[in-house]
């Protein structure tokens, strides 16, 4: 969607490594309030780490795709129960992706 190659994805993963979780998804699941929180954080930071509920196997990947589609962001990486999302700011992007 936003990244074009592996070099750009690696760059985003390296930036996201030290980020703390900004949004946690609780027992209620993916509510409108949670989606709004993720969207606001993406506008402010462009790269957001989200803690997903305890899911296993394919469920985790499917849930990560559902979240990224709901907020119209790119799923950069899923590690454990953490999801890294990227969406450049529409007017003033902060993160410069390598070519």
Domain containing residue 70: CATH number: 3.30.110.60
Would you say the C-alpha torsion 80, 49, 63, 91 has a positive or negative sign? negative
What's the rounded mean pLDDT across residues 3-14? 92
**pLDDT interval class at 54 (50, 70, 90):** confident
**37: in domain:** yes
Range of the domain at 35: 6-86
**99: in domain:** no
**1: in domain:** no
**81: in domain:** yes
**64: in domain:** yes
Q: What is the pLDDT of residue 74?
A: 95
**22: in domain:** yes
Give the predicted TM-score (pTM) of the model: 0.92
| Residues 90, 47 contacting (CB under 8 angstroms) | no
Number of neighbouring beta carbons within 10 Å of residue 18: 7
CA distances from 40 to 32, 60, 75, 93 (A): 12, 23, 17, 15
What's the rounded mean pLDDT across residues 21-27? 93
Domain total of the chain: 1
Query: pLDDT digits over 82-91, tens only?
Result: 999 999 999 9
């Amino acid at each position: 969607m936003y990244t074009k190659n592996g070099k750009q994805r690696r760059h985003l993963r390296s930036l996201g490594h030290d980020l703390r979780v900004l949004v946690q998804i609780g027992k209620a699941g993916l509510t409108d309030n949670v989606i709004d929180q993720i969207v606001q954080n993406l506008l402010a930071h462009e790269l957001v780490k989200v803690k997903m509920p305890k899911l296993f196997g394919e469920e985790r990947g499917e849930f990560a795709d559902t979240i990224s589609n709901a907020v119209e962001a790119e799923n950069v990486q899923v590690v454990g129960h953490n999801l890294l999302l990227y969406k450049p700011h529409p007017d003033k992007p902060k993160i410069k992706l390598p070519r």
